[in-house]
Amino acid sequence: MKRIFTRRSDARRPALLGIVTGSMVAASAAAQETGGPTAQQLARDRENPFAQTINLPLAAVTGFGIGPHHDVGEQLTIQPQLPLPLDADWNLVVRSLLPVTFSPDPQRRFGLGDVQPSFFLTPARSTGLIWGAGPAFQFPTATNNELGTGKWSAGPTGALVYSDSEGPWFAGILLTQLWSFAGAPRTAVNQTSTEVDLSYNFESGWYIQTDPTITYDWSATPRQALTLPVGIDVGKVTKIGGQDVSFQLGAYDALKSSTGIAQWIIRAQITLLFPHRRGG
């Protein structure tokens, strides 16, 4: 669950939409014919940031209870994941987050948010206990004051995941810290995000998971700093016309949240999966 519907106060020009679009096109072009992964393997790999699978998730999020009038907002996020083999032992995984948001009254806005690319250097294996680390960035590409930070930001990101090669379990934790270093004269960015993922994946391709993103804004007052959601998703991996795809639906409630953040959300997600051939 990503932090959504934050109110901001400065506009920036979209500059990297072409980069993100290009990465999605490259993901489709670079995808290889599957070597026969099972539905259970695909279900595990769809959330694994280090899997040898090109993933293209599209998530539609409806947020409720936003702001003093408990308004409803919408957000579409696109987050392509592209593993790039460096040699026999190492991969570079590129993940880019592109949010498109509708922010409700009193300052109704619709447009592109800040693009967030991340890069992970990780050992070239797809099961067991796997780690990865690298830099993360956030660029002020928001098309409106309310939809972005107005800041150029960067910091470290890293993840540790466990993927059972034969069984149903996947677990992982991904941490990102961003600090602003340039941009509009607005509140500095100093935010820690922790994404926790635990899923049980059935042989049929059905899965159940919890995937909240916990954030702490060090620039905010202590009462407004923490966003702590809890919830669950249910989904299914299947094929449509030979294309591996995952469908899921979930709901998350914010046990703790700051002003302007949705109090609870419904999330519907479709993920296109392009698995590499497995060498055994």
Q: How confident is the model over 79-103, as pLDDT tens digits? A: 999 999 999 999 999 999 999 987 7
**Long-range contacts formed by 44-47: CB under 8 A, 24+ apart:** 44/163, 44/164, 44/168, 44/170, 44/199, 44/201, 45/126, 45/163, 45/273, 45/275, 46/237, 46/246, 46/271, 46/273, 47/170, 47/172, 47/197, 47/199, 47/209, 47/211
Whole-number pLDDT of residue 216: 95
Write down the mean pLDDT value for the chain.
84
Whole-number pLDDT of residue 105: 59
User: Are 250 and 231 within 8 A, CB to CB?
Assistant: yes
Q: Taking Cα atoms as reference points, which of 15, 3, 24, 4 lies closest to residue 104?
A: 4
Give percent above pLDDT 90 in the chain. Answer: 61
2 has pLDDT over 90: no
Q: How confident is the model over 144-199, as pLDDT tens digits? A: 877 889 999 999 999 999 988 788 999 999 999 999 999 988 889 999 999 999 99
Whole-number pLDDT of residue 274: 94
Fold for the domain defined by 17-275 = Porin (2.40.160)
Beta carbons within 10 angstroms of residue 69's beta carbon = 9
5 has pLDDT over 90: no
**Helix boundaries (H) for the chain:** 17-30, 39-45, 222-225
Residue 139's pLDDT band, with cuts at 50, 70 and 90, is very high
Distance CA 256, CA 258 (A): 7
